């Protein structure tokens, strides 16, 4: 292939704390072997990374030039995957994305909609902030950038991608989701904001992980939608 899109990842953040070998095999070693092979056949790698390479200590959207400092095994293995690509080939585009949502069931929207069918009360954290990103918009963006790479109108490198809009908490996100869902006959549960420490999650999450996408959009003049 002239272009190779690697969307494979071990994305269960909590399970990655217990199954670090599996997470490292998929998120770190997989990209290394792909990069080595694609270099041999002179192919270009499109690799999908994550906002979790940052520690969340900023209060404004992260730039590509900001220092990485992952606080979970998931984030560490994803960052190692980035390094393995950079060390083994030159023709790559690494896209960091955050809070992906789409028609597949394994995302926040479907999870809370499903929970609302069984529970009248939902507790949602209000101390973690990010930018929701449409998987559909992201896939459209990938195809667009491949055309730009083919035309030699875009440079390789690491880029951030997210939809436009303000960073929000998971709690705020849930309120918006159910405001829309009610229009389709879905009952809105009682939603209570809680601290992330109350959930006693295995892996730590960054408190703030919104991504600044201005670098890529300034370079290729791409119009993207508000989340």
pLDDT value for 193: 96
DSSP string across the chain: --EEEE------HHHHHH-HHHHHIIIIIHHHHHHHHHHHTT-EEEEEEEGGGS-S--SSPBPTTSPP---SHHHHHHHHHHHHHHHH-SSEEEEEE-SEE-SSSSSHHHHHHHHHHH-SEEEEESS-EE--EEHHHHHHHHHHHHHHHHTT-S--EEEEE--BS--EEHHHHHHHHHHHHGGGTPPP-EEEEE-GGGG--SS---SB--B--HHHHHHH-----B-
pLDDT value for 201: 85
Is 74 considered catalytic here? yes
Convert 197-227 to b/e letters by CB count within 10 Å (16 or more is b): eeeeeebbbbbbbbbbbebbbeebeeebeeb
Whole-angstrom Cα distance, residue 145 to residue 154?
Answer: 8
pLDDT value for 71: 96
Provide CB contacts within 8 A for 200, sequence distance 6+.
none
Neighbours of 57 (CB within 10 A): 11
* Catalytic residue (one of 74, 95, 173, 208): 74
pLDDT value for 9: 96
pTM: 0.94
Task: Per-residue pLDDT tens, the chain, 227 aa: give them.
Answer: 999 999 999 999 999 999 999 999 999 999 999 999 999 999 999 999 999 999 999 999 999 999 999 999 999 999 999 999 999 999 999 999 999 999 887 899 999 999 999 999 999 999 999 999 999 999 999 999 999 999 999 999 999 999 999 999 999 999 999 999 999 999 999 999 999 988 888 999 999 999 999 999 888 888 889 99
pLDDT value for 199: 84
């Amino acid at each position: 292939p002239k272009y190779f899109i690697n969307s494979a990842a071990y994305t269960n953040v909590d399970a990655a704390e217990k199954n670090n070998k599996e997470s490292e095999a998929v998120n770190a070693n997989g990209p290394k072997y792909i990069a080595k092979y694609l270099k041999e056949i002179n192919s270009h790698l499109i690799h999908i990374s994550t906002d979790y390479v940052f520690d969340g200590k900023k209060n404004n959207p992260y730039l590509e030039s900001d220092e990485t400092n992952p606080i979970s095994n998931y984030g560490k293995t994803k960052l190692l995957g980035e390094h393995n690509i950079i060390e083994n080939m030159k023709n790559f585009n690494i896209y960091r994305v955050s809070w992906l949502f789409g028609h597949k069931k394994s995302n926040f929207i479907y999870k809370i909609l499903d929970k609302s069918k069984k529970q009248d009360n939902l507790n949602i954290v209000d101390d973690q902030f990010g930018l929701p990103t449409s998987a559909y918009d992201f896939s459209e963006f990938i195809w667009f950038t491949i055309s730009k790479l083919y035309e030699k109108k875009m440079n390789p490198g690491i880029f951030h991608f997210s939809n436009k809009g303000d960073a929000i908490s998971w709690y705020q996100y849930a309120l918006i989701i159910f405001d829309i869902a009610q229009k389709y006959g879905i009952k809105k549960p009682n939603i209570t904001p809680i601290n992330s420490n109350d959930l006693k999650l295995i892996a730590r999450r960054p408190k703030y992980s919104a991504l600044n996408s201005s670098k890529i959009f300034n370079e290729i003049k791409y119009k993207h939608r508000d989340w």
